[in-house]
């Protein structure tokens, strides 16, 4: 059986950062396991490519959601990234740090010691390379490049002016201590290229001799020696099973849906529920798999009297083809070089 000091399950936003930080010690062997493929598709680097990726089962997980009162009894399907970078390789790239009061509430009232804004604020600052430059809240020397929406139009300016008329301030940066207001969004993009967690945190350290990356490998459960996590069991394409031992620790960073699911499959969760499915109980933890809160998104669409200031028609028909050629010019060579340099050392 292969042995690594640390096994990291899931190469999404958290997994890529963990792989970077944990592998800083040269004598500490780290394996990062991802159920999806490498982030080699040109559609990942191209910001507008996420529309296609969201419908691609090779690069996305699809989770059907049962209708319930909280979602208006509607049928929903949630999509999550399935590749290196996880959902950061498939999302809309909007950079939002969350409200500081929410982090403080987690720490004060929900037992999340160390997750208050006093701790996390400086962490955000350290990871940022922000186009607006550094100040007491923003960073400018970190690995994650952040840009500000540059395409001001008649329509967007009119929307901000309408917000002012109803009492909302126009903000220069939406990620301040007080989020109350309207502003142009910030994005995890740089030079027209997506800045996923894989691009920002994993790719710069992929040549470390003590870091191995395994793609297209789905972890089926965590292995236990008594109550100690001792390794993982995973399935390769074609059905071949493999067990890998953890010398020190197993870290689950497979997301808000897959991590609790994996805990349950491994025997950690509501004991009665696990027994009903024939899963031996390692630890009775009723909260595992419960109390998920998805963020609320409200979409508004308006029909325009004319096309003044709108970009909608640029993404259909012959205009789409022309814009794709414009984008491919400066980015085609760069992307091909990125993919050649991005071949990671596979765990044999």
For the cut 80, the answer to whether the pLDDT of residue 239 exceeds it is yes
Segment holding 20, helix H or strand E: helix 13-22
The string of pLDDT tens digits covering residues 168-227 is: 999 989 999 988 999 999 999 999 999 999 999 999 999 999 999 999 999 999 999 999
The string of pLDDT tens digits covering residues 146-174 is: 999 887 888 889 899 999 999 999 998 99
Percent of the residues in the chain that have a pLDDT greater than 90, as a whole number: 75
Chosen domain end from 187, 212, 241:
187
Q: Shortest CA distance to 48 belongs to which of 306, 331, 324, 263?
A: 324
Same domain, 152 and 204: no
Q: Show the tokens assigned to 11.
A: 């190469």
Same domain, 23 and 3: yes
Same domain, 241 and 224: yes
Segment holding 153, helix H or strand E: none
Q: Which region among 33-42, 82-91, 103-112, 150-159 has the lowest average model confidence (pLDDT)? A: 150-159
For the cut 60, the answer to whether the pLDDT of residue 58 exceeds it is yes
Question: What confidence category does residue 115 fall into, taking pLDDT thresholds of 50, 70 and 90?
Answer: very high
pLDDT of residue 335: 52
The CATH number for 38's domain is: 3.50.50.60
Same domain, 261 and 329: yes
How far is residue 45's CA from residue 335's CA, in Å, rounded to a whole number?
Answer: 7
pLDDT of residue 343: 40
Same domain, 63 and 208: yes
The string of pLDDT tens digits covering residues 123-137 is: 999 999 999 999 999
Chosen domain end from 155, 187, 219:
187
Mean pLDDT of 255-262: 96
Same domain, 266 and 125: no
The chain-wide mean pLDDT, for the chain, equals 91
Q: Shortest CA distance to 61 belongs to which of 256, 226, 210?
A: 256
Same domain, 159 and 220: no
Same domain, 89 and 104: no
Segment holding 6, helix H or strand E: strand 2-9
* Count of residues making up the chain: 348
For the cut 50, the answer to whether the pLDDT of residue 336 exceeds it is no
The number of beta carbons lying within 10 Å of the beta carbon of residue 120 is: 18
Q: Shortest CA distance to 200 belongs to which of 183, 217, 210, 188?
A: 188
The domain in which residue 141 lies consists of 94-187
- How far is the first Cα of the chain from the last one, in angstroms, to the nearest whole number? 12
pLDDT of residue 68: 76
Same domain, 232 and 321: yes
For the cut 50, the answer to whether the pLDDT of residue 342 exceeds it is no
The CATH number for 128's domain is: 1.10.1220.110
| Residues 6+ away with beta carbon under 8 Å from 27 | 210
Percent of the residues in the chain that have a pLDDT greater than 70, as a whole number: 94
Q: Which has the higher per-residue pLDDT, 295 or 254?
A: 254
Chosen domain end from 131, 163, 187:
187
Question: What confidence category does residue 308 fall into, taking pLDDT thresholds of 50, 70 and 90?
Answer: low
Same domain, 58 and 200: yes
Question: What confidence category does residue 332 fall into, taking pLDDT thresholds of 50, 70 and 90?
Answer: low
pLDDT of residue 28: 97
Q: Please state at what angle helix 100-109 crosses helix 117-127, rounded to 10 degrees.
A: 140
Strand, helix or coil for residue 66: coil
pLDDT of residue 345: 42
Same domain, 302 and 272: yes
Tally of domains within the chain:
2
Same domain, 335 and 204: yes
């Amino acid at each position: 059986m292969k042995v690594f000091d640390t096994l990291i399950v899931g190469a999404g936003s958290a997994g890529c950062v963990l792989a970077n930080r944990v592998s800083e010690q040269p004598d500490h062997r780290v394996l990062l396991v991802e159920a999806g493929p490498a982030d080699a598709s040109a559609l990942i680097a191209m910001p507008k490519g996420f529309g296609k990726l969201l419908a691609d089962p090779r690069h996305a997980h699809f989770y059907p959601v049962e209708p319930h009162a909280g979602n208006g009894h509607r049928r929903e399907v949630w999509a999550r990234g399935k590749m290196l970078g996880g959902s950061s390789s498939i999302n809309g790239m909007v950079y939002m740090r969350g409200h500081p009061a929410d982090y403080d509430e987690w720490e004060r009232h929900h037992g999340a010691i160390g997750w208050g804004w006093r701790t996390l604020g400086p962490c955000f600052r350290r990871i940022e390379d922000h186009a607006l430059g550094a100040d007491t809240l923003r960073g400018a020397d970190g690995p994650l490049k952040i840009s500000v929406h540059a395409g001001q139009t008649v329509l967007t300016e009119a929307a901000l002016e309408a917000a002012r008329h109803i009492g909302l301030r126009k903000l220069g940066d939406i990620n301040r201590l007080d989020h109350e207001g309207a502003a142009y969004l910030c994005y995890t993009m740089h030079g027209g290229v997506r800045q996923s967690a894989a691009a920002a945190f994993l790719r710069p350290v992929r040549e470390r001799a003590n870091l191995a990356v395994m793609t297209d490998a789905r972890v089926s459960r965590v292995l236990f020696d008594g109550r100690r996590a001792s390794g993982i069991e995973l399935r390769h394409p074609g059905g071949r099973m493999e067990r890998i031992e953890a010398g020190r620790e197993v870290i689950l960073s497979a997301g808000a849906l897959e991590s609790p699911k994996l805990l349950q499959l491994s025997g950690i969760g509501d004991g009665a529920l696990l027994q009903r499915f024939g899963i031996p109980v390692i630890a009775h933890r009723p909260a595992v798999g419960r109390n998920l809160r998805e963020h609320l998104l409200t979409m508004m669409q308006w029909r325009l009297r004319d096309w003044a200031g709108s970009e909608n028609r640029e993404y259909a028909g012959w205009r789409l083809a022309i814009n794709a050629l414009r984008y491919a010019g400066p980015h085609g060579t760069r992307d091909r070089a990125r993919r050649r340099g991005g071949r990671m050392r596979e765990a044999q």
